[in-house]
Structure 1
Amino acid sequence: MRKSLHNIFIYFTLAVFIFSSCKDDSYLKNVIVPNQSFVEEFDTASAALARGWQFINNSELKGGGVWQNGGSLIPLFAGYSNHGTYAGFIGTDYTSTSAAAAIISNWLISPPVILQNGDKIIFYTRSQALDNGAGDSTDYGNSLQVNINTHNSGIFVGNYTDVGDFDKRILAINPTFIQSSYTNPVAGSYPTRWTRFEATVAGVNSPVLGRFAFRYFVQGGGSNGLASGIGIDSVAYQSVKK
């Protein structure tokens, strides 16, 4: 009799467990995410670093080019939006590599942010146009990627041939390195005037603490190859309204 009662108890407990496992837990996905929206004007690189931005030059044969005020010791061009006494934007250039022609992979990484589908990254960017010696200008072909890290809030970017944890690309500007000029812009090329771009976070199963990043990426870039320099200004992260 005690053995029968023991079996009945086990079956009852198992039934309760199975029922509990099958109940609707979709409410767990409806997490209220605090508003993550912010704007970064990059009036100074030091202030951006203090706010949690990270700069990583991961280029092949790393050169002296870093993300800095104005993109160079002498600003590459005038800023889009300037609220201080410096250049008012952040940028980098072909000196990211010390080679005549190699892979440029120079990262500008955001502070940690809760990423969710529909969030938007809005920013302004342009490239540097240089005299081509033929009465016109050229930017030598620049490219920018916007990637997100949905694995963690770290800054692992692999080596110059890969992207590490930032393996979801949500925007690519001029991925085929089309060259353009200031006076005669070419369709699909990197803009040589400040231009607004918008990237939308996608492919995220549920809200996750991660980061987004701008990757200045040029294959065959350098002092005798592709790339001139680019600037980024007025970056806005806009949380989707739930």
Structure 2
Amino acid sequence: MKTLLEIINKNNFFYIGSLLLIFVCCLFLSIYSRADGFMFMNGFHTTFLTIFFQNITLCGDGAFSLIVFTIILISFKKHRKLAILLLLSYVSSGILSQIIKLFVTSPRPSVYFESHHYAYYLDTFSNCRIGFRSFPSGHTASAFAMVTVFTNYLKKRHIWAFSLLFAIVVGYSRIYLAHHFLIDVLAGAILGILSGTFSILWFKKNQIKIKKRTRQFTRKFNLVMQNIKTQHKPNINGSY
């Protein structure tokens, strides 16, 4: 509990901002129904915004998280801890969101409006996901898990606002593109923040074991690479 409070205190601006965001979303959900809230948040669509959100939403995709993890792991040796934390937060948020989806039956927006006979149509309905696995938003969970780790790791005051804004935009893209309702995105945001925070907490408690196993893995990997180079080393005549 003490370690958890230390994590929150060191990154208090991010967590306070996140709490305010959650409060505003809960207030919005208490005022508007699911359908009315969705229509209100999709009241303005343009070609530029559609293209923008189609691209920004990819930042919540699993492939993006793995690419960021790989780049940091390979290119920034001093920040391998960050890479491990990102991987832990992504995996935990992804697994938890998929488990919840198995037990919660919640229709996607296009299915919801069709089944409730609403005369409402968006241009994004033609390319949106369909089905009954809308809650929570996995993309939002991944984005918030990522920024939670970044803001805790980098420990710079000015980063928390940009990171939180980035995650909010990714979350809103899921509503704009008609993949999710606000309640799905809110649940994903909470799940992501919790996954990122507890990934950091777990890492701190198991840091020595993780470093030891990482060194062992790195040593074995280097030996394998060295053997491969030795086997393919040219002889004196220049032939293999």
Q: With the length of structure 1 as denominator, give the TM-score of the two structures.
A: 0.31
Going by fraction, where is helix more abundant, 1 or 2?
2
For the pair shown, the structure with the greater C-alpha radius of gyration is 1
Going by fraction, where is strand more abundant, 1 or 2?
1
